[in-house]
Amino acid sequence: MRETSYDVVLYGASGFVGKQTVRYFAERAGAEVRWAIAGRDRHKLESVRAEVGITVDILVADSQDKTAIDEIVSQTRVLLNTAGPFALYGDAIVDACVRYRTHYVDITGETPWVKGLIDRYHLQAATDGTRIIPCCGFDSVPSDLGAYLVVRYLQRELGTNCTQVKAYYQAAGGFNGGTLASALNIFDRGELDLVSNPFLLNPPESIPTDVDRHRDPTSPQYDAEMETWVAPFFMGVVNTRIVRRSQALFVRVASLAENRWQEPYGTDFSYQEYFKFDPPWAWLQSAAMVGGMAVIGGAIAIPTLRSLLESIIPQVGSGPTEQTMNEGWFRCELLGWGSQGQRVRGLIADVGDPGNRATVKFVCESALCLAVDFDRLPGGAQRGGILTPATGLGDVLVERLQRAGMRLEVELLR
């Protein structure tokens, strides 16, 4: 990797999540990591630096100022971006990262924007060995790494391919204004049809003929494996697309026409996920979740109700209280089936609000994988493109998250 002034630059460092990435780096990055904070407002960045009590450099650039963004990106090996909505503010940053061969991670869940990155930049980044890895927050690291761990356990420990993985989430916490603004922006851009495509992020040649089998669930259902009622997980429309892209990338051409990764999950692989509720009120809770999401979706489409909704949700730059974030938690249980009938159980879990505390841990450790552990990353120095957490970071990210206190485990079910 080329010589630069910094190993990592945290862009969007004065935002709600951005401030938390600064605290995380101050506590866990280590003295060997050269890092700086960046954003468009020097005064706010100086306030963050003073509040955290650090002496790192401050870099200033509006996300629409191509020259200023180039100046920042050219100085770092890795760019960590928390400034969303990414469809509004992320294009110039990713464009510069591809041109300067700077590795990139972010916390977006905006799959139509990620689709645009794939169309514009995947081939060039793959050729150059530049790792552009969106969706490194709560969406979609647990899903992507969870499916990856289940599949690899079946292959490495049991000698069989995986035919199916299901993920079941439970969580407690709050939303921040940036996440909600990103969701509203997708609606405003008329991209709901894109969002509903289960293979939106897949290379065209990897899309199966039986697409309907992979469509998102829409109603509550009793799950015999979990022995309780489940509902469609509202983040499934993001997470499942990332997992399916991982599956496709592990078997498709990486950069040169003759170079294949040859690490497939298995033929006829499928992935789906749900939100799980515990008895005795599981049916009622699952129905309430589906009904609530329908009401919110309808309200967004009606101007008067949209205005009312926007007046009560957290605004950009705000989010849950410290107590809510500290008391939050998440749990992702996974079930995987082998081609010979074997079953395995995976678990990814941690304390702390998933949309903030867990997201910060995920994205910061992802950036540190690229900055500190690059030589150990899957695929070697030549792997690049618009990647996923599993294809771009893999077992190295698993190890870092475990050392950071997160549970990631897989076991055989007998």
Note the pLDDT tens digit of each residue in 370-410. Answer: 999 999 999 999 999 999 999 999 999 999 999 999 999 99
Indicate whether 75 pLDDT > 90: yes
Indicate whether 77 pLDDT > 50: yes
Residue with tokens 């897949």: 202
Phi-psi region of 274 (alpha: psi -120 to 50; beta: other; left: phi over 0): beta
Angle between helices 141-158 and 236-249 (to 10 degrees): 40
Over residues 159-180, the pLDDT tens digits come to: 999 999 999 999 999 888 777 7
Q: Extract the tokens encoding 298.
A: 């309808």
DSSP-assigned letter for residue 127: H
Residues 120/49, Cβ–Cβ less than 8 Å: no
Over residues 7-28, the pLDDT tens digits come to: 999 999 999 999 999 999 999 9
In the structure, what pLDDT confidence band is assigned to residue 280 with cuts at 50, 70 and 90? very high
Among the listed residues 241, 227, 235, 325, the one whose alpha carbon sits nearest the alpha carbon of residue 276:
227
Among the listed residues 65, 117, 58, the one whose alpha carbon sits nearest the alpha carbon of residue 86:
117
Give the C-alpha separation, 76 to 143, whole Å. Answer: 29
Q: What three-state secondary structure class fits 57? A: strand
The order of strands in the sheet holding 162-172 is 221-223, 228-232, 270-276, 162-172, 329-338, 343-351, 407-413
Residues 93/63, Cβ–Cβ less than 8 Å: yes
